[in-house]
Every structure is written in structure tokens, then in C-alpha cells.
Amino acid sequence: MTARKLLIGVTALALIALPFVYKQPYHLHVLVLILIWSFAYTSWSVMGRFGLVSLGHGGFMGVGAYVTALLWNHLGVSPWIGIPLALLAAGLLAIVVGYPCFRFRIIGHYFALVTLALSGIVLQVITATRDFTGGSLGYTPERTKGSVLAAVQFVDKETWYLIALLVWALGLLIWYLVDGSMLRHAMEAISEDEDAAAAAGINVTAEKLKITVLSAVMTAFAGALYCQYQMFISPDTVSGISVSLQMVFAAVVGGIYVALGPTVGAVITILLAEALRIGFGTAAVGWDNLIYGVLLVCFIVLLPQGILGSLLVRRAAAK
């Protein structure tokens, strides 16, 4: 136990000290992206690990990003207030869509289809309100001069790296908290046998909603953070089906049942995207998703019991 704690401590220190020792801006940029997307993928896994596979998390991310940016640009609301409001919006959306689904036992691929429609609709809303949001052309939050804490805008990559690191660690913390909670047992019971879970006293709808709202809010936070970092958002980078599928792909490839699994997935997807961008330049647009698509199909077809099955087997063997 102490050896493990020592290892974690040393790694944490190394991660924190990194930007002070190694200041290559491009590499720090990639690291920030990896950290933010890891957090997003981890948010998806919070639900996905219990069989609540959502193909619509792009919608929540989009809500997080756009609400924050719109409140800042149009109403001058600081992201310190804007982000909580965005999280609230995402949570409400999760409830509005989740409640009828769970109350009426819409699960499995029906649920996936409903969430798919959700993310598509969020994209449509963003496009429809193009007068406010800039539509498919994208949207830019107004820049402040230099780093302004009140506007959550920082010029230097080092600061952003530390923020992203903190958020990523927060994501892992939440994952561990859920992992050790009764909610986790309840969700596992529900995913195995909903009726028996209800017979054990579990309010199935309520517990499912809880995990869904948590996941949605976390994802929205990732979206807001991404917006503040990149200072540019567009419907297809932060919302829509592509983002949703990308989340599923990364989490599934990296490993849904393991805390660091989504992080691994993020490392793979982002490094791949960057490698392609460097290798092919602008001609690389679309190639990364092409490869994800092929990889996703291969992964699912070739793993004998499918992704979830083989991970369960590996996990049981490891016990």
C-alpha cells in the first residue's frame, strides 16, 4: 500500500512540476487537450460503465461550451457565474430527457437512440440560433487583454496546464467516489436485473437519474473549460454526433471499468489526431475520424465477447 501511495505521490509531484521545468508550448498545449478530453471521457464512463450507454454526450458538452460563451459575450457574465449556469442547464437537459426514458424503462439501444437524437438536436439548436451563436461557422468568446482571473482567461500555457491537471484529478476523484459508493452497487444491480433491484428497495429511476445528471454536468464542465481554453468553439468540435461517438470510442478503447481507462483513450485519440495533423497538414482533416471509425469497428467486431464482455472477463481474472 505504501509503495503504491509513494508512486502516486511522486507521479503527482512530477506532473505538477512539469510545466515549470519543460516549457515547450506546443507540447504543453497537447497535454492540456489530453487532460481536458480525459475529463470529458471520464465523465462519459461514469454512466457508460453501468450500461447506460449514451450516444449524446456531445449535446451536454455543447451546452456547457455555448452557454458559457454566450453569457460572456452577450451579457458580460463572468464564467465564474456562467459556468455554473451552464452546468445547471446541462443538468436540467439530462433530467428532461432522462426522466421519461428511465420512468418508462427505455434502456439499451432504445436509450442510445434517444440520446443520439438529443445530441443531433442540440447541434440543430446551435445552428438555428446562428444570429447568437454564429451557427456552423463557430463562435469566439471575447478576449480580454492578458490573463484575467475573473474572466477565466489565461494567456500562458503553464497556468492552463495546472488548471487542466486539477480538473482531470477532480474527474478521477469523482470516479473513485462513485466507485466506492452505494450508488455504484445500486447501478450494478440495476444494470444486471432492474426488477430485482426495485424489489431490493432501489428507486431505479432516481438512481439512474442521479448518475446521468452527474455525468452530464461533468461533461458540460469539460465543454466550458474547452471553450475557455481554445477560445473558439463550433458545433462539430464540441457537440453533435461525432463528438459523442468519439467519447464512446475513446472510453471503450481505453477501458470503461478502469479509472484511468478514459485517460488512456484520450492519449490515444489526441496523439493520433495530432500526428495526423503534423503528417498531413490540412489534408488530414477527416483522416483521424476515419481511422477512429475503422478502429472502432475492428475493436468491436474482433473482441470475442464484445467490449464490455471481455473487459469483465479481464477484470474478474485480475481479482
Q: Which of residues 35-64 bind other proteins (CB under 8 A)?
A: 51, 53, 55
**At closest approach, how far in Å is the CB of 78 from other proteins?**
29
Q: DSSP letters along 140-158, please?
A: -PPPPSS-BGGGTB-S-HH
Please, which of residues 237-266 interact with other proteins by CB under 8 A?
A: 240-242, 245-246, 248-249, 252
In the list 106, 170, 172, 231, the residue contacting other proteins (rule: CB under 8 A) is 106
| Amino acid of residue 315 | R
Residue 279 interacts with other proteins (CB under 8 A): yes or no = no
Question: Closest separation between CB of residue 268 and other proteins, Å?
Answer: 15
Using CA of residue 124, residue 55, residue 50, residue 41, what is the dihedral sign?
negative
3-class SS of residue 9? helix
Quote the least distance from Cβ 202 to other proteins, whole Å.
Answer: 5
Task: Decide whether 74 or 130 has the Cβ nearer to other proteins.
Answer: 130
Cell of 17: 512540476
Q: Return the number of other C-beta atoms located less than 10 Å from residue 104's C-beta.
A: 10
Q: Tell me the window of 25-33, 63-71, 101-109, 151-159 that interacts with other proteins (CB under 8 A).
A: 101-109
Q: Which is nearer to other proteins, 143 or 185 (CB)?
A: 185
For residue 219, the minimal CB distance to other proteins (Å) is 18
Q: Which of 47, 48, 40, 46 is nearest to 65 (CA)?
A: 40
- Considering only 196, 275, 278, 313, the residue that binds other proteins (CB under 8 A) is 196
Name the β-bridge partners of 233. 139
Stretch 288-307 residues interacting with other proteins (CB under 8 A): 288-290, 292-297, 299-301, 305-307
Choice from 123, 178, 233, 311 touching other proteins (CB under 8 A): 123
SS in 3 state form for 52-110? CCCCCHHHHHHHHHHHHHHHHHHHCCCHHHHHHHHHHHHHHHHHHHHHHHHHCCCCHHH
